[in-house]
Structures are given as C-alpha cells and as structure tokens.
C-alpha cells in the first residue's frame, strides 16, 4: 500500500512510500482509513519545525482520521469487524505517574500517531484497542475525521476553562482549533468573538463569520475600541489563545478583564512580556493540552447534535495525490480544515 510520508528534514519533502499491510497484534485492530484531516502539527511536520526533530524518517503522517475495523487481534473484545472508529492518537505508556493518576494526555513517555510511528495517510493502520473510540451511526464518517481536533477544543473549554452561560469570550486565532474552541464555547452559552491577523482575512475570518461569529482583524480594526464596545469596557471574561504565536499571550493580557481567565491552547514557543499586570489583576492563566476519553465522547455528541458545524467547517477540496497544494494553502491561511478522502490511495 502507499502512504504519504515525511522523507527529509526540510520544508515540504512529502513523498509516497510503499508499506506492507500491517498485521495486528493480539490487542490491536486493523483499521481501514476512510477520511483523514490536516492539522497544525501536520503543517509543522511539513515545514519541519524543531519539535519534530525526534521523528525517524520516512514516517507516514496524519493522526486525525475515521475508519472501519477490518480485522481484530485475538485479545480484542470491544470492537468487531465493520465497526466505525476514530483513534485517540496520543498513546500514554500506562505506567508513569501521570498515567496512573488519570492524566495520560501528559504522559511522560507518550507516543503520537503520525509522529512516532506511521499514521493515517495510508490505507491501513494497526491500533491498540485501548486507543480506539467508537463512532455512532448518526455521525457521518467525514465529520468523524475531525473528532480529534474537536476534542482538543472540548478539553480547553469544558475541562480547563471556566466559561459559563452569558460570558463574553475572545478566541485568538481562527485556525482549526480556534474555530472549534469558539463553537464549543458558544455551546456553553458564551457570546464569542474570534480574532485573526491579515492573512486570515481571505478565508479563515470569513469562515468564522459563516459559522456565526463576530470577528476582529487585528491588522485593520481598532481592537481597543471594539473591546470597549463588545464588553462594555470591562474586557473579556475568558480569552483562549489558539494562535501558536508569541504575540498571543501578551495580546490576551490586554483583552481579558481583571479577574478573568486566559487559556493557552496554542504552543507559542518563546515570548517576552511583563507578568506583573497578570498578578495585579489576578488573572487566571491556564494551559490546556491534547485530550482524553471524555473529551472524545463529548466531541462526538457536540458534532452529532450540530453544536459543532462540520458541514461548514470541513474543506474537502484537496487531494492526498497533490498534498503540497493542501499544505501550502493551510500554511498560507487559505484553508482551515482540509479533510482528505484516503480511498484515493487504495490500490
């Protein structure tokens, strides 16, 4: 079978490689992939950011996907051939302190599908039973392919933020995680504003508006005046920084109200700022990383009832047969959530 792999430690360098059909271990199921998404970490691999130096190349990438079980190992009891599934792609070791206390999303020895071993941009993947999550019949397979990123937003909002009905929320960054976070915060009863930069004006901010959100273009709008108008001069109750940019946290400090909360979701790298204003305003600074079983379960329900609008959100214009087009469009802000039909790779 063919798989789309990162083959060199440089920008781009995505090529098809030949792989044998995996043989599932006793505790694994063999999954045939139907649809797979492109996310920010996949784009980071494409650009080969430093966080991915640990990868052993070539590695087939992709970790957001939906598929069907086609074979099971002898020890598998929860899944059967024909079941529709998604994978929870950050696999905890099960033995470290964090795993023992139920925090496997921050496992000390976690491995990630599509980074530490071959991922979903190929026909078949073999997955431990404990990493699979069932998909209800009412959720279309193409929509199920975005359950994993939805689960990141669900954890950020439902587990790690204090968003409640009536809150005024700002989501910085109209990328995939930002727009999913915004939809989930709205489902919690908040009034949500989404901000972006100049390059977001072409596709991502208009997409946010199509999803029903007020938007801010910080390259053009008077942000202070809009904050004054939208929050009665108080500031936002909660700000989610999903930008992955060093400017995200300092700007969040300017936007959040005194006594409010900032939730860091994007991985910003190094940033320099004065922290005394956070202390003097008693701002709650919370981090949120990855997701767990409950977050996947909630995400499937949110998608199922339409609180997360996958029909509008998913962009199915791109093909794995010309993946560079999708990756360059993603990096340039010309798309938000490409989802590939992986059956195009089937022999």
What string of pLDDT tens digits covers the 347 residues of the chain? 999 999 999 999 999 999 999 999 999 999 999 999 999 999 999 999 988 999 999 999 999 999 999 999 999 999 999 999 999 999 999 999 999 999 999 999 999 999 999 999 999 999 999 999 999 999 999 999 999 999 999 999 999 999 999 999 999 999 999 999 999 999 999 999 999 999 999 999 999 999 999 999 999 999 999 999 999 999 999 999 999 899 999 999 999 999 999 999 998 888 888 899 899 999 999 999 999 999 999 999 999 999 999 999 999 999 999 999 999 999 999 999 999 999 999 97
SS (H, E, C) the chain: CEEEEECCCCCCCEEEEECCCCCCCCCEEEEEEEEEECCHHHHHHHHCCHHHCCCCCCEECCCCEEEEEEEECCCCCCCCCCCEEEECCEECCCCCHHHHCCCHHHCCCCEEECCCECCCCECEEEEEHHHEEECCCCCCHHHHCCHHHHHHHHHHHHHCCCCCCCCEEEEECCCHHHHHHHHHHHHCCCEEEEEECHHHHCCHHHHHHHCCCEEEECCCCCHHHHHHHHCCCCCEEEEEECCCCCCHHHHHHHHEEEEEEEEECCCCCCCCCCCHHHHHCCCEEEECCCCCHHHHHHHHHHHHCCCCCHHHHCECCCCHHHHHHHHHHHHCCCCCCEEEEHHHHCC
Q: Residue 249: which of 172, 326, 307 has the closest Cα?
A: 172
**Bridge partner list, 290:** none
pTM, 2 dp: 0.96
Whole-number pLDDT of residue 195? 98
Whole-number pLDDT of residue 41? 93
Whole-number pLDDT of residue 83? 98
């Amino acid at each position: 079978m063919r798989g789309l792999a990162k083959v060199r430690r440089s920008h781009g360098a995505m090529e098809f490689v030949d792989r044998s059909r995996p043989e599932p271990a006793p505790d694994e199921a063999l999954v045939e992939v139907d649809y797979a998404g492109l996310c920010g970490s996949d784009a980071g691999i494409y650009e080969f950011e430093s966080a991915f130096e640990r990868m052993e190349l070539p590695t087939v990438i992709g970790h957001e996907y939906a598929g069907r079980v086609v074979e099971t190992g002898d020890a598998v009891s929860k899944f059967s051939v024909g079941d529709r599934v998604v994978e929870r792609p950050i696999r905890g070791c099960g033995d470290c302190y964090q795993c023992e206390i139920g925090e496997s999303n921050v496992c000390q020895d976690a491995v990630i599908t599509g980074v530490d071993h071959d991922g979903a941009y190929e026909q078949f993947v073999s997955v431990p039973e404990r990493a699979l999550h069932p998909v209800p019949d009412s959720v279309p397979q193409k929509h199920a392919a975005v359950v994993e990123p939805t689960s990141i937003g669900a954890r950020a909002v439902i587990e790690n933020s204090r968003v409640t009905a009536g809150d005024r929320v700002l989501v910085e960054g109209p990328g995939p995680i930002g727009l999913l976070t915004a939809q989930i915060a709205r489902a919690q009863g908040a009034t949500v504003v989404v901000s972006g930069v100049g390059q977001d004006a072409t596709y991502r901010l208009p997409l946010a508006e199509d999803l029903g959100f007020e938007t801010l273009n910080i390259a053009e709008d008077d942000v202070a005046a809009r904050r004054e108008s939208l929050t009665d001069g108080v500031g936002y109750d909660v700000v989610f920084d999903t930008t992955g940019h060093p400017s995200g946290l300092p700007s969040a400090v300017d936007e959040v109200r005194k006594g409010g909360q900032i939730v860091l979701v994007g991985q910003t790298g190094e940033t320099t700022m004065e922290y005394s204003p956070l202390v003097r305003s008693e701002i709650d600074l919370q981090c949120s990383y990855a997701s767990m079983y409950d977050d996947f379960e909630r995400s499937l329900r949110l998608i199922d009832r339409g609180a997360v609008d996958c029909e509008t959100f998913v962009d199915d214009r791109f093909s794995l047969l010309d993946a560079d087009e999708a990756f360059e469009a993603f990096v340039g802000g010309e798309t938000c959530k490409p989802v590939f039909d992986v059956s195009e790779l089937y022999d």
